[in-house]
Amino acid sequence: MAIFVNLIRRGASAVQNIGTVDLSVMDPASRTTDVVFPIPSKAPVRVRGVKGVEWAANHL
């Protein structure tokens, strides 16, 4: 059980450690934080275009 819990915590740590964000946008091909596919550089511009979004930036 301890191994399972630690694997789950490790997988979620990158998102949890960001801080006070309300929403994280990731590439659908990213399955874990160990294998990350960067989203296109224009993605933050698209995210900023969503109503109610004040700020967006890449986080890798």
Predicted local confidence at residue 46, as pLDDT = 87
Residue 2 has pLDDT above 80, yes or no: yes
Are 18 and 24 contacting, i.e. CB atoms less than 8 angstroms apart? yes
Q: Between residues 38 and 4, which one has the greater pLDDT?
A: 4
Predicted local confidence at residue 60, as pLDDT = 61
Tens of pLDDT, residue by residue over 5-56, are: 888 777 777 666 666 777 777 777 777 666 667 778 888 888 888 898 888 8
